[in-house]
Chains A and B, each alone.
Chain A
Amino acid sequence: MMLTILILLPLLTALILAMSNAKASRTVALAGSGIQLLFSLLLLQNYLTERAAGNTALFLFESSSAWFPALNINFHIGVDGISIAMILLTASVVFAGVLVSWKIEKMTKEFFLLLIILSAGAYGFFISLDLFLLFFFLEVAVIPKYLLIGIWGSGKKEYSANKLALMLMGGSALVLVGLIGMYYNSGNSFDLVHLSTFHIPFYIQKIFFPFLFIGFGVFTAIFPFHTWVPDGHSSAPTAASMFLAGISMKLGGYGCLRVATYLMPEAAQYYSGYIVLVAAIAIIYGAFATMMQTDLKYINAYSSVSHCGFVLLGIGMLTKTAITGAVLQMVSHGLMTALFFAAIGMLYERTHTRAVKELGGLMKMMPFISTVFFIAGLCSLGLPGFSGFVAEMTIFVGSWQRSGMFYHIATILACMSIVVTAVYILRATGQSVMGPVNNPKFLTLTDAHWNEKLAAGVLIVGIVAIGVMPFWLNDLVSPGAEAIYNQLSRFALLK
């Protein structure tokens, strides 16, 4: 019941938005996403109470009703800790996204409508336990992005929007083939719970695992299908960038973990070397590519490629700690990158430039925004006390547990990329907010408004809450991660 409400709330908001006028729309969107955030917290609380009461089922609040009985498709929903963490992330990012878009003038109503529909897609994706349903929501979350970037974006927006939509649809086309393949080789079932108990033959897994992993991987910028990320993120309006980097890329990571790895454990082990290889390439390549960027949005976009590489690295290492770390990194990166894009959006709205060289000394006029920007940067480079440190540390520890020279080298290389991250983050943040004021026009600029403060506040609370007290999130996600790990060891291939 709770989960049905979770998916109905954004739909209801969208319906009211469609009927309201442009002026009222932002209030409706804010109210809708605010209620959704509160509801997600309530869901977390209920989840924890259930767990405390000793409910050890993997998925809670499960419900299933027939949708297309002839094809054995059910409306099957349920959540574990990983999904709850992702739902919380989505709710915070969407809430913050609505707040930072408060001043949007052009087609206001349509903007918020698309944003809310996007969020509905994400919520639906995270609660689906039926793969058809999951695929449905995955695709729901693509086209609104195209319109958001193409209509409200900046720069070469049409090109970026097209590239993003086509690459993501390409990814989902691969996923579709994988799903249909799995369907026919598992006694005609799309049901995640059924499939996890059904042992798909290894040779079938070997064929369809790449489809699913690469398909979902496109969403999470797997190398070499990461090229939509820089263009898409930098052309998108602030709220869409936040959603793209904060949530959309996590759909891919979640899919890789929950669908590909969980349901095809032997193939995951068979291919884990390749996964680690592309992840390590993405981490290092992303970090060095970021060094060369001069546009703040491009810096964050390329660093997202690098950071999402950590997620894939964690998944590819296949140890329990690394998988937990991958989930932590998804949440942490979601919050951090959304904060980063929000701060960049605020800066850009005032200075009308995103070039690092033209900025400078902003701390004097905009202490709040500059601080937010700095916090996001520090979290990104993994400073202890913020969520980034917790997540990356967990991944490194987990990765090292995987024996084998190849995996050790990959781990060491990934660790070393942190240094590069520190270089570009400190350079970008230092040059843009510290030092003398380069442009006298900037002296008259004002600091953040209430809506921007609230948006940043919500995200920073999340980042710090994870950074200072990581155990709660760790406890939340580890049963889910453990289930995936158990699945892997049950069908052990490499030992």
Chain B
Amino acid sequence: MNGMTEFFFLMKHELSLVLILVFLLILKIRTKPIVNSSLINVMNVVFFLNFILGWFLNKDGSLFGGMFLNSGLLAFEKNILNLGTFIICLQASSWLKDHKHVPEFYMLLISTLIGMFFMLSSGNLLMFYLGLELSTIPLAAMCNFDMEKANSSEAAMKMIMSSAFSSGILLFGISLFYGMTGTFSLLGSGYNFDGSPLQVLSFLMLFSGFAFKLSVVPFHFWTADVYEGSPVSVTSYLSVISKGAMVFVFSSVMYTTFKGIATVWYDAMVVLSILTMVVGNLFALRQNNMKRFLAFSSIAQVGYILIGISGSSESGMASSIYFILIYIFSNLGAFGVISLISSETGRESIDDYKGLYKTNPMLGWVLALSLFSLAGIPPTAGFFGKIFLLTAGAAKGNYLLITIASLNMIVSLYYYLRVIRAVFMDSNENAIEPIKSQTSFKLAIILCVAGILVTGFANGLYEYILSLSHGM
């Protein structure tokens, strides 16, 4: 195979996104005004095609002297992110239809996604950093997309400040890394990690950079404000896609680059996962805004993911990817309902959800199902995701960690049940009116519900992910 076709196949995911981006740019420079609803429909179809195309003609290999990698696992991770983006676009339709800057929204969205793909595929710290910045800066602009709202700008500002700060730390870590090993390569060849102080320092810097992006406690302070201020669709993108991509990169960097000092990062991981679960859950107890509430619950979820990764095995890798897939469905189910209600009525507090079941039974069930999946209640997929994470994490015999995690699941159940109680049990004179949703929204919700119900039982899926993680 000649170089050109190889280049095409290996970078297929990125190239197709670039193609969409170019298409949008051409659309934008035309003088004729764009009809929002038709553009939205076209983009939904385009994202769907993009997701479908991602499954075909994948090849393993590397480009640009090991800068850019692709493998079955990476392609699968990109497909998961494509799927999540597709669902988010479907859900965003009702919010976007009256917006003045629809093409820009899609452009920014696609830029961040391209950034994440490069980050995932990076075999080199410089490439990784480029991808990271490409994914972060447009994201901050997206946070500001409720132009007339002050707290939307505040969210964007907080996002850009905190990511600049974390990038600084990350770069410091990278330069130490380079100073020690003489290479930017992430593939772990040519140098040995033996746990010398400088190595540990460089590792800690990199680790904190990741922790910022993952909103691991104590690097989580930006999360709740940014989630609350941003438009709901951007919040869901932040909490699902951006976090998912970070988890993928994080776990592969831990497993390949820092393999040599696994004992060091194991301790860091255990401490931070306990902190993250406990703080996330305890803060979620007191929230009254649905978005803030889900922000803290998603912080707590990261704590469980860290447990899985700490198992440092193929099943740890596979279970965290599997969990992210399930988490996409469950979180987007919940965020979908919230985004619909927020865009139709502007109400976001948990008290507003009282009596929702009486007026909107379907939305009530979807919200309940998604929250149960987040809480890890069977028969939803979330149950399998959590149990597999805990099982993978227990492989090293740290049963105390598992005990703390399972007790945390009860705390989390308490606040999820608070919402369930508001929806199903409390009566409310001023309940949310019956809402009519668009077809695209219904489609998104059907996808999420199907994912929540099927992903857990579909045993082949977990096995497939595990077989992909085999090479790690």
A: which residues have CB within 8 A of B?
Answer: 66-71, 132, 135-137, 139-140, 142-143, 146-147, 150-151, 157-158, 161-162, 165-166, 169-170, 173-174, 176-177, 180-181, 183-184, 207
Contacts and interface: CB of A to CB of B under 8 A. Distances in A.
Given A70-B315, A174-B406, A177-B402, 20 more contacts: A66-B459, A68-B463, A70-B466, A132-B387, A140-B378, A143-B372, A147-B424, A150-B421, A158-B425, A162-B417, A165-B413, A165-B417, A169-B413, A173-B406, A173-B409, A177-B399, A180-B394, A180-B399, A181-B399, A184-B395
B421 to A, nearest CB: 6
Interface string B78-91: 00000000000000
Contact of A71 (B391, B399, B420): B391
A147 B43 CA distance: 40
Contact of A139 (B378, B390, B462, B466): B378
21 contacts: A67-B459, A68-B462, A71-B388, A71-B391, A135-B387, A139-B383, A142-B377, A147-B420, A151-B424, A157-B425, A158-B425, A166-B414, A173-B407, A173-B410, A176-B387, A180-B399, A180-B402, A181-B399, A183-B391, A184-B395, A207-B399
A69 B463 contact: yes
Interface in B428-472: 459, 462-463, 466
Contact of B409 (A70, A157, A169): A169
Which of B399, B406, B424, B463 has the most A CB atoms < 10 Å from its CB?
A: B406
Given A67-B459, A136-B383, A151-B424, A184 B407 contact: no
Given A68-B459, A140-B379, A176 B390 contact: yes
Contacts, number: 83
B284 to A, nearest CB: 15
B359 interface: no
B398 to A, nearest CB: 11
A161 B426 CA distance: 13
Nearest to B391: A180
Q: Chain B interface mostly helix, strand, loop or mixed? A: helix
Interface residues of B, number: 32
Contacts of A151: 424-425
Contacts of A143: 372, 377
B164 to A, nearest CB: 40
A158 B420 CA distance: 11
Nearest to B413: A169
B397 A184 contact: yes
A108 B402 CA distance: 40
Nearest to B467: A70
A169 B403 CA distance: 13
Nearest to A147: B424
Contacts of B425: 150-151, 157-158, 161
Nearest to B376: A139
B391, B402, B463: most-surrounded residue (chain A CB, <10 A): B391
A66 B425 CA distance: 40
Nearest to A69: B463
Contacts of B397: 184
B422 to A, nearest CB: 10
B237 to A, nearest CB: 29
CB-based closest 5 A-B pairs: A173-B406, A150-B425, A180-B394, A139-B378, A136-B378
B308 to A, nearest CB: 13
